[in-house]
Amino acid sequence: MRVRLDKSADAIYLDLTGKTIDSSEEVAEGVILDYDEDGLLVGIEVLDASKRSGDKDRKLFDSIGLELQSA
């Protein structure tokens, strides 16, 4: 699993498999599930991540030791 953080977009993407995305479905406002060609879940995107976590100062983004990447 790979986690991508986009600080400027305030988004988190969990790449579960590294497979190519065939389709996507927004299951709740700002929560998108990505599926491969077989309909298996391959990724999860959460928009407005700092707001959803209650981390309005974005301390979560600053504290995680992962490289921030553009979406």
- In single-letter form, the type of residue at position 25 comes to E
Tell me, what's the pLDDT at 70? 43
- Closest C-alpha among 34, 37, 25 to residue 2: 34
Tell me, what's the pLDDT at 59? 63
Cα separation values, 44 from 57, 69, Å? 23, 16
pTM as predicted: 0.75
Angle formed at CA 24 by CA 21 and CA 36, multiple of 5 degrees:
35
Tell me, what's the pLDDT at 23? 98
Residue 7 predicted with pLDDT over 60: yes
Tell me, what's the pLDDT at 1? 84
29-65 pLDDT tens trace: 999 999 999 999 999 999 988 777 765 556 666 665 5
